[in-house]
Amino acid sequence: MQEIVDTLVSAIKDKKAQDRELLSKFIDAVANRSIPNEQAITWLKAVHENSISPEDTAFLTQKMMHSGSVLEWPDYQNIVVDKHSTGGVGDKMSLILAPLLACCGLKVPMLAGRGLGHTGGTIDKLESLTGFRTDLTPEEMAASLETVGCCISAQSSEIAPADSLLYALRDISHTIDSIPLITASIISKKAAEGLDCLVLDVKCGDAAFMKNQDDAKALASSMQKVAQLLGIDCIAQITDMSNPIGDYIGNSLEVIESILVMKCEQENTDCRDIVYLQALDLLKLSGLYSDDQTILSKMDKEMKSGNVIRKFREMCVNQGVEGSYIDNVISNPDVLLGDDYLEIKATNSGYVESIDAMELAKIARKHKAGRFVFGEEINQFTGYILHKNEGSKVESDEALLTMYYDYKPTSEEVSIIQNSFRLIETQPQKTDSRLIARIGSKQMSN
């Protein structure tokens, strides 16, 4: 194996194509864990430092996809869909999107992850619901699509096993920020779901992995092209991730806001607007609907009729949640609130120009809303309920947010939270949409 790695690394450094047979053997060895970690890290560092061609990236992604089980859906045509987000502060879209899409006629076998970083992942959020099973087998996912139309499960060891090792090694070898490696990691797992259509939400901004638009566009373009090469109709959306999404940040807190959105009881439309943006593209890609207005009317109808929240309940019960328990949560979402909280107030008056989402997330992570290492325990209750948003008028000593904490925040942490709300004297103009750009073969007007 050392000779294979040396040959592959030499080609990467010389900006030449990697030998397909050797790269296949390398990925097979990664998948069955027969390669020493240090040899795999050598290859990762070579890719990180020198990059690889789009063709090599596509081949790598395909090999990683086929390193384990690939789900098949012979009974459905053009309607098996999913989305992937590169992560953000308050990003709870999957919890709303899956039942909404199912109500609109699509099939959603959503594979999601636990968080590593400043916030929890979709799986962490759903596990705030007592009994919610996230370890569905491929057979159980198939049954869920047939009966419910959607499911949200964690990636199993059967799906893209080559990725699980390479992802862990990327973390310890500081090779996370490589566009070819990110592309192969994300798209191999999505392709293994047997998707027809995919929407990618590539976050851009101070609280995103990609800080500027050029980097976000490069990643979005890479993932979209590789997805298309693997037969998935794909649109990439680049969205702003400077301010927090919605009013609720944290695992159980984001479940609360998701329920409020699905019940049409959330005044802040930020979350709903992003969900609609993602659903709109997926419904158009599927071919079920042709024009935006028809789709928007359909989504509004499903939301306002209560069908979406009922579909969410159905998904929860199907995945192990007791019916009486989820009924209680839906009727009174505040049962998911923690006991320890603190109102944090403004020290002066003004209008909120922006909110530093990353600073809020860093403190929440220290209080166990997120992880510093894989497998670390989290506190499902830690997080914030924002009382002020971009453009809000703030009076001195008025509450900016309520913080639910693992341990009482220090005076320094309180000060950081207060200063994360940037106040100015005149009311700023609020942006209408977080959408910055779309990238895809079927370009759609913004």
Q: Is 37 buried (19+), middle (13-18) or exposed (0-12) by CB count in 10 A? A: middle
pLDDT over threshold 90, residue 88: no
Residue 129 forms part of a structural domain: yes
Token pair, residue 331, equals 């009727």
pLDDT over threshold 90, residue 7: yes
Choose the weakest-confidence range: 163-167, 347-351, 394-398: 163-167
Residue 160 forms part of a structural domain: yes
In sequence order, which residues have a C-beta less than 8 Å from that of residue 76 and are 6 or more positions away? 107, 145, 196
Residue with more model confidence, 371 or 147: 147
Domain shared by 303 and 401, yes or no: no
Domain shared by 361 and 324, yes or no: no
Residue 445 forms part of a structural domain: no
CB 126 within 8 A of CB 120: no
Catalytic: 189? Answer: yes
Q: Give the pLDDT band (50/70/90) at residue 118.
A: low
Amino acid identity at 364: A
* Residue 220: CATH number of its domain: 3.40.1030.10
How high is the mean pLDDT of the chain?
93
* Residue 379: CATH number of its domain: 3.90.1170.30
Average pLDDT over residues 124-140: 94
Domain shared by 214 and 142, yes or no: yes
Instruction: Report the 3 state secondary structure along the chain.
Output: CHHHHHHHHHHHHCCCCCCHHHHHHHHHHHHCCCCCHHHHHHHHHHHHHHCCCHHHHHHHHHHHHCCCCCCCCCCCCCCEEEEEECCCCCCCHHHHHHHHHHHCCCEEEEEECCCCECCCCHHHHHCCCCCCCCCCCHHHHHHHHHHCCEEEEECCCCCCHHHHHHHHHHHHCCCCCCHHHHHHHHHHHHHCCCCCEEEEEEEECCCCCECCHHHHHHHHHHHHHHHHHCCCEEEEEEEECCCCCCCEECHHHHHHHHHHHHCCCCCCCHHHHHHHHHHHHHHHHHCCCCCHHHHHHHHHHHHHCCHHHHHHHHHHHHCCCCHHHHHHHHHCHHHHCCCCEEEEECCCCEEEEEECHHHHHHHHHHCCCCECCCCCCCCCCCEEEECCCCCCEECCCCEEEEEECCCCCCHHHHHHHHHHEEEECCCCCCCCCCEEEEEECCCCCC
Active-site residue, selected from the candidate residues 124, 163, 201, 356: 163
Residue 299 forms part of a structural domain: yes
Residue 145 structural domain = 81-328
Average pLDDT over residues 208-219: 91
Supply the pLDDT for residue 442.
Answer: 52
Average pLDDT over residues 44-70: 94
Q: Give the pLDDT band (50/70/90) at residue 441.
A: low
Residue 433 forms part of a structural domain: no
Active-site residue, selected from the candidate residues 170, 225, 368, 371: 170
Supply the pLDDT for residue 117.
Answer: 64
Domain count, the chain: 3
Among residues 362, 339, 380, 331, which one has the least CA distance to residue 123? Answer: 380
Phi–psi pair at 345, nearest 5 degrees: -110, 160
Q: What residues form DSSP beta bridges with 422?
A: 354
Domain shared by 323 and 225, yes or no: yes
Q: Give the pLDDT band (50/70/90) at residue 444.
A: very low
Percent of the chain scored above 70 by pLDDT?
Answer: 98
Average pLDDT over residues 194-221: 93
Amino acid identity at 129: L
Residue 36 forms part of a structural domain: yes
Catalytic: 185? Answer: yes
Dihedral angle computed from the Cα positions of residues 320, 370, 246 and 210, in that order, rounded to the nearest 10 degrees: -120
CB 71 within 8 A of CB 38: no
Domain shared by 125 and 267, yes or no: yes
Residue with more model confidence, 120 or 282: 282
Supply the pLDDT for residue 446.
Answer: 38
Q: For 228-247, what is each residue's pLDDT tens digit?
A: 999 999 999 999 998 999 99
How far is residue 425 from each of residues 388, 393, 432, measured CA to CA in Å? Answer: 15, 10, 21
Active-site residue, selected from the candidate residues 67, 85, 185, 221: 185
Residue 41 forms part of a structural domain: yes
Domain shared by 131 and 230, yes or no: yes
Active-site residue, selected from the candidate residues 118, 125, 189, 434: 189
Percent of the chain scored above 90 by pLDDT?
Answer: 81
Q: What's the rounded Cα separation, in Å, for the pair 244 and 246?
A: 6
Average pLDDT over residues 278-284: 96
Q: Give the pLDDT band (50/70/90) at residue 116.
A: low
Domain shared by 154 and 286, yes or no: yes
Q: For 67-82, what is each residue's pLDDT tens digit?
A: 988 999 988 888 999 9
Domain shared by 324 and 364, yes or no: no
Domain shared by 311 and 352, yes or no: no
Q: Give the pLDDT band (50/70/90) at residue 445.
A: very low
Domain shared by 278 and 346, yes or no: no
Residue 61 forms part of a structural domain: no
CB 346 within 8 A of CB 407: no
Domain shared by 182 and 255, yes or no: yes
Final residue in a domain of this structure, among 277, 294, 328: 328
Active-site residue, selected from the candidate residues 45, 48, 66, 84: 84
> Of 173-182, 209-218, 256-265, where does the model show the most confidence?
256-265
In sequence order, which residues have a C-beta less than 8 Å from that of residue 162 and are 6 or more positions away? 27, 30, 31, 63, 64, 67, 68, 188
Choose the weakest-confidence range: 133-147, 154-168, 355-369, 421-435: 154-168
pLDDT over threshold 50, residue 28: yes
CB 358 within 8 A of CB 206: yes
Domain shared by 350 and 405, yes or no: yes
Q: For 375-432, what is each residue's pLDDT tens digit?
A: 788 889 999 999 999 999 999 999 999 999 988 999 999 999 999 999 999 999 888 8
How far is residue 136 from each of residues 133, 142, 158, 160, 318, measured CA to CA in Å? Answer: 7, 10, 11, 15, 11
Amino acid identity at 403: M
Catalytic: 84? Answer: yes
Residue with more model confidence, 374 or 3: 3
